[in-house]
Amino acid sequence: MPVPNTFANATTTIPLSQLDNNFATPITIGNTAVQLGNTVTTLNNMTFANVTISSVATPLPNNFLANSTATLGNTTVTLGSTTTSVGNLTLTNGTYTDYTESVVAIGNSSTTQTIALSNGTVQTVTLTANCTFTMPTVAAGKSFLVMIKSGAGNFTGTFTGVKWPGNTSPTITNTASRMDIIAFSSDGTNWYGTASQNYYV
């Protein structure tokens, strides 16, 4: 009769044949049967909690991860994807290099024009008639530019509800093929405007 092995004093590998039959019975991990002495490289239908992965042989697909998306402002960003526009963000102490403002080409003015900033803060327009410009809703910290080309000349431009230096609104240059650049900024109560005029174009 063989002498039973004492695990604490074992100096060589103990064959499965010398162990109780229960040791040869596979255990099921997930839906995979694992038996002592065998090599298992794939486990299926597993749920892991509080796991630290130190290295992987191949990249894990995003759909294998619990949180493969993140929300920035009001934009959902998927890991591994390219996002070129993010909305409704507040940035603090940012450094901006070589930035470009969005340009809105209004085109010909007609007699009335409502300025909207939703598509850009540089607005270009050519006067084709005496035009009244309706300003956007005031909001503290908002600012934008309007670049007004005189077209054939002899047309006026009026901006509603704007406070000007010396309480005097600028006379839009009415010489043909010239341009005025008007800058507006808001304190949340009023729009304030300043004009640089008579550029050759």
- Whole-angstrom CA distances from 176 to 86, 111, 149, 152, 155 are 40, 18, 8, 5, 10
**Residue 142 predicted with pLDDT over 70:** yes
Is the Cβ–Cβ distance between 157 and 133 less than 8 Å? yes
% of the chain beyond a pLDDT of 70? 90
- The amino acid present at 58, given as its one-letter code, is T
Residue 160 has what pLDDT? 94
Q: How many CB atoms lie within 10 A of CB 142?
A: 16
Bin 119: left if φ > 0, else alpha if -120 < ψ < 50, else beta: alpha
Residue-averaged pLDDT of the chain: 87
C-alpha to C-alpha distance for 106 and 63, rounded to whole angstroms: 44
- Listing DSSP states for 50-102 in one string gives S------SSPPPGGGSS--EEEETTEEEETTS------S---SS----S----
Residue 26 has what pLDDT? 83
Domain ranges for the chain: 9-46, 103-200
Topology at the third CATH level for domain 103-200: Jelly Rolls (2.60.120)
Residue with tokens 């650049």: 181
Q: Which own/partner pairs from 73-77 qualify as long-range (CB within 8 Å, at least 24 positions apart)?
A: none
Encode pLDDT of 171-200 as tens digits: 999 999 999 999 999 999 999 999 999 999
Give the pLDDT band (50/70/90) at residue 115: very high
Average the pLDDT over each of 7-16, 34-43, 174-183 and give the range with the smallest value.
Answer: 7-16
What's the whole-number mean pLDDT along residues 121-134? Answer: 96
Average the pLDDT over each of 30-44, 98-112, 141-155, 157-171 and give the range with the smallest value.
Answer: 30-44
